[in-house]
């Protein structure tokens, strides 16, 4: 029984780490997209 408890704990922690990594990756990409959007808006000027 100890084996299964350890196995699922490791799987759970691994999934949390993968999720955190993907969340950071997506967040950084989104920040870059938002900056690019604002730069394009600045170049177009006020309407």
9-34 confidence digits (pLDDT tens): 999 999 999 999 999 999 999 999 99
pLDDT at 3 over 90: yes
Model pLDDT, residue 42: 87
Q: In the Cβ-directed half-sphere of 20, how many Cα atoms lie within 13 Å?
A: 6
Give one DSSP letter per residue of 7-41, joined into a string.
HHHHHHHHHHHHHHHHHHHHHHHHHHHHHHHHHHH
Cα–Cα distance for residue pair 28/33, rounded to 1 Å: 9
* Domain region containing 6: 1-47
Kindly report whether the global pTM for this prediction surpasses the value 0.75: no
Q: What is the pLDDT of residues 32-47, one digit of tens each?
A: 999 999 999 988 876 6
Domains: count for the chain = 1
Model pLDDT, residue 44: 85
């Amino acid at each position: 029984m100890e084996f299964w408890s350890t196995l699922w704990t490791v799987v759970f922690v691994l999934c949390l780490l993968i999720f955190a990594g993907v969340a950071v990756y997506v967040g950084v990409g989104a920040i870059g997209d938002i900056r690019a959007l604002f730069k394009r808006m600045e170049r177009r000027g006020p309407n």
